[in-house]
Amino acid sequence: MSYLDDIKNLVASDKKYIWHPFTQMKEWIEDEPIIITEGRDCFLKDANGKWYLDGVSSIWVSIHGHRKKEIDDAIKNQLDKIAHSSLLGLSNIPSIELAKKLIRLTDKSFAGLNPRLSKVFYSDNGSTAVEVSLKMAFQYWIHKGKKNKTSFLSLKNAYLGDTIGAVSVGGIDIFHEVFRPLLFKTYKAPSPYCYNCELSKTPLECSFACLNEMEKILERHSDEIAAVIIEPIVQAAGGMIVWPDGYLNGVRYLCDKYNVLLIADEVATGFGRTGKMFACEHEGVVPDIMCLSKGITNGYMPLAVTLTTDKIYNAFLGEFKDLKTFFHGHSYTGNPLACAAAIASIDLFEKEEILKNMQPKIAILRDKLREIADLPSIGDVRNKGLIAGIELVKNKSTKEPYPWEEKMGWKVAYKAREEGVLIRPLGNVIVIMPPLSISLENLERLLGVIKGSIISATR
Ligand SMILES: *Cc1c(COP(=O)(O)O)cnc(C)c1O
């Protein structure tokens, strides 16, 4: 059988056996899928031997790029010892070392601030890290004698994962509405999406009207609310919505004033993505509970953590018979291979001075975005660190969007694909999320191809 027959067989088997996530499979089976066979640095190779620039870090996880020697070696070394053993009733060396490293990292990021994150709870993906945070917050209040705090406050346009708890606090109707009958009740405050302000204000005259709306909910319902859960600074899957300065601080202030916990879902923003190790650092805010996943292992292994404070942890301490235990855990909790990958990935931040070396790249991104913003089909461009969102509109002056069925974001992505760049849009928002390690040349190429693709798709 020839090489091309092999590819045909792969494609046929994909279509026959796999149900892809977030995918209309009727369209998928009519299309030609790209099958990735290899990766290196910020490039991916397909079964035909064509190389692509990985413009979204393989769904936001590959912060140091593919086949990073230090991480490859860490996994190989760990493999010679043990691949998996659980944290249920046992412990293992990589999970201990990683927990210590994570607390040192947050101590450095949040030096001198309160509260202090001091405990690490492991799980294996962003959604489970969020589930853990919700259950932890809820049960914390039970232990404190506040049994009515059974609800949560979250934002419109929030995306916190796909499990039922995470969807309950989500706020993207197109994904979440169909599941409404299964969800628990939550309160929703407007998101600070200034380009399309839900309250029809402009940033100059709004005085954070959206925070006032949040305060009104807390004033009335704080005795029912366990926590406010947010994606700090950038609401990612909601369209790379970048918050105005001061909003996060305002949320922390309200949480303290109304005695509710603050949960920060840094699954997308953590590990340098916004130009600081954690997005909360931009405003010197420390959450009571913080969720991390995506970049934690550089995409090598599924891993997530939920960090919290002594105050919350201590509330769960008691006699066995008191049933104060946190009854939650997954089979893969603290997986040694995943923890070994995470340790190596975190060590690279220092070794390669990632945060410092990102700064010129952020400057280039900002300059090029300014040029792109002038195109007639662009309503808004936003960025923080090496995250950017480019919002396509049908009419720049009225902000009329392209109808979502038109899939304009995907039309741009398909054009970019022809030029050897892989991106994945969020509706009408083009996402730019390259590996933090991308070279200046490759970043310029990425932005050039995206600009050209927008021009030709919207012509
Ligand atoms: C991706 C994401 C999640 C969900 O993570 P999974 O690993 O896909 O379950 C949760 N929160 C945020 C902010 C995310 O970007």
Q: DSSP state, 331? A: T
In sequence order, which residues have a C-beta less than 8 Å from that of residue 396 and are 6 or more positions away? 376, 377, 378, 379
Of ligand 1's atoms, which has the minimum distance to the CA of residue 231? 13
CA atoms 202, 251, 168, 295: torsion sign: positive
* Predicted confidence (pLDDT) per residue in 347-375, tens digit: 999 999 999 999 999 999 999 999 999 99
Task: For CA atoms 101, 299, 54, 351, give the dihedral sign.
Answer: positive
Q: Where are the domains of the chain?
A: 34-64+354-458, 76-351
Please give the pLDDT value at position 377.
Answer: 97
Per-residue confidence band for 2, with pLDDT thresholds at 50, 70 and 90: confident
Tell me which of 123, 127, 128 to substitute to probe ligand 1's pocket, judged by most ligand atoms within 8 Å of the beta carbon.
127
Whole-angstrom distance, CA of residue 40 vs CA of residue 62: 11
- Extract the tokens encoding 292: 């991390």
For ligand 1, pick from 22, 267, 429 the residue to mutate: most ligand atoms within 8 Å of CB. 267
CA dihedral of 236, 240, 246, 251, whole degrees rounded to 10? -30
Q: What per-residue confidence (pLDDT) applies to 5?
A: 85
Span from the CA of 353 to the centroid of ligand 1 (angstroms): 26
How many Cα atoms within 13 Å fall on the side-chain side of residue 248? 23
- Ligand 1 atom closest to residue 59's alpha carbon, by position in its atom list: 1
Q: Over the Cα atoms of the chain, what is R_g?
A: 22
DSSP-assigned letter for residue 403: P
CA of 163 to the centre of ligand 1 (A): 10
- The CATH topology of domain 76-351 is Aspartate Aminotransferase; domain 2 (3.40.640)
Per-residue model confidence (pLDDT) at position 174 = 84
Q: What per-residue confidence (pLDDT) applies to 400?
A: 97
Confidence of residue 296 (pLDDT cuts 50, 70, 90): very high
The alpha carbon of 277 and the centre of ligand 1 are apart by a number of angstroms equal to 17
Strands 387-392 and 378-384: antiparallel
Query: Which residue has its alpha carbon closest to ligand 1 atom 6?
Result: 126
- Percent of the chain past pLDDT 90, that is, above it, reads 97
As to burial, measured by CB atoms within 10 angstroms (0-12 exposed, 13-18 middle, 19+ buried), residue 414 is middle
Nearest CA to ligand 1 atom 15: 268
The residue behind tokens 């404070």 is 309
Q: Yes or no: say if 160 and 229 are a contact pair by the CB < 8 Å rule.
A: yes
Distance from Cα 169 to the centre of ligand 1, integer Å? 13
In this structure, what DSSP letter does residue 254 have? H
Is pLDDT at 130 greater than 90 in this prediction?
Answer: yes
CATH class as words, domain 34-64+354-458: alpha beta
Q: From the CA of 321, how far away is ligand 1's center (Å)?
A: 35
Torsion over CA of 309, 300, 237 and 419, rounded to 10 degrees?
150
Kindly give the distance from the C-alpha atom of residue 161 to the centroid of ligand 1, in angstroms, as a whole number: 5
Kindly tell me if the per-residue pLDDT of 3 is higher than 80: no
Residue type, 437: S
- Which residues, in sequence order, are CB contacts of 397 under 8 Å at separation 6+? none
Name the residue among 55, 111, 153 with its Cα closest to residue 453.
55
Q: How far is the CA of 237 from the centre of ligand 1 (A)?
A: 9
Q: How far is the CA of 418 from the centre of ligand 1 (A)?
A: 28
- pLDDT tops 90 at residue 313: yes
Each residue's pLDDT tens digit, 405-424: 999 999 999 999 999 999 99
Angle between helix 354-373 and helix 336-351 axes, rounded to 10 deg:
80
pLDDT at position 1, please?
62
- Angle between helix axes 440-458 and 408-418 (nearest 10 degrees) is 130
Q: What is the pLDDT of residues 173-213, one digit of tens each?
A: 888 889 999 999 999 999 999 999 999 999 888 999 999 99
Helix axes 440-458 and 354-373, enclosed angle (nearest 10):
20
Ligand 1 atom nearest to CA at 162: 9
- The number of angstroms, rounded, from the C-alpha of 167 to the middle of its chain's C-alpha atoms is 14
**CA of residue 48 to ligand 1 center, whole Å:** 31
**How many other CB atoms sit within 10 Å of the CB of residue 300?**
24
Tokens standing for residue 439: 């070279």
pLDDT tens digit string along 137-166?
Answer: 999 999 999 999 999 999 999 999 999 999
Residues lining ligand 1, CB < 6 A?
125-127, 130, 159-161, 231, 236-237, 265, 267-268, 293-294
Give, for ligand 1, the residue of 160, 230, 426 to mutate: max count of ligand atoms closer than 8 Å to Cβ.
160
Phi, psi of 280 (to 5 degrees): -60, -25
pLDDT at 177: 86
Decide: pTM greater than 0.85.
yes
Question: What does the pLDDT read at residue 175?
Answer: 84
Contact status, residue 132 vs residue 229, Cβ threshold 8 Å: no
What average pLDDT does the structure give for the chain? 97
Dump strand ranges (E) for 287-347.
289-292, 304-309
Question: Residue 110: its pLDDT value, please?
Answer: 98
Q: How many CB atoms lie within 10 A of CB 114?
A: 8
